C-alpha cells in the first residue's frame, strides 16, 4: 500500500500558495476587464446601429425639405417672372 503524501506546511508552501492566490486574483481581474470591454463593445455596436438609423432618418428628412424648398423657389421664380 502506498501512503498518502501530505503537502509540506513550511514557509515555501506558504509562499507557493500566496503566489497561486495572487495569480488567481490577477486572472480574475483580467477576466473582469475582458467582460467589461466586451460589454462596452456591445454597447458601442448598439450605439452605432442607433446612429445609423438616425442618420438614415435625417437623410430622408433632408431630402423632403430639399424637395419642398426647390418647389417653393420655383413657385417664387414663376411669380416674379410675371
Distance CA(42)–CA(55), nearest Å, equals: 20
Average pLDDT, the chain: 85
**pLDDT of residue 78 exceeding 90:** yes
Please compute the mean of the pLDDT values over residues 16-35 and round it to a whole number: 90
**pLDDT band (50, 70, 90) for residue 76:** very high
Whether the model clears a pTM of 0.85, i.e. scores above it, the answer is: no
CA dihedral 66, 72, 74, 79 (to 10 degrees): -170
**pLDDT of residue 13 exceeding 80:** no
**pLDDT of residue 18 exceeding 60:** yes
**pLDDT of residue 73 exceeding 70:** yes
**pLDDT band (50, 70, 90) for residue 25:** very high
What secondary structure letter does DSSP report for 9?
Answer: -
Amino acid at each position: 500500500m502506498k501512503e498518502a503524501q501530505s503537502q509540506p506546511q513550511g514557509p515555501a508552501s506558504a509562499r507557493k500558495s500566496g503566489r497561486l492566490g495572487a495569480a488567481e486574483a490577477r486572472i480574475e481581474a483580467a477576466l473582469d476587464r475582458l467582460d467589461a470591454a466586451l460589454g462596452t463593445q456591445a454597447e458601442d455596436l448598439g450605439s452605432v446601429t442607433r446612429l445609423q438609423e438616425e442618420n438614415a432618418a435625417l437623410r430622408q428628412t433632408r431630402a423632403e425639405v430639399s424637395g419642398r424648398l426647390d418647389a417653393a423657389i420655383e413657385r417664387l421664380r414663376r411669380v416674379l417672372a410675371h
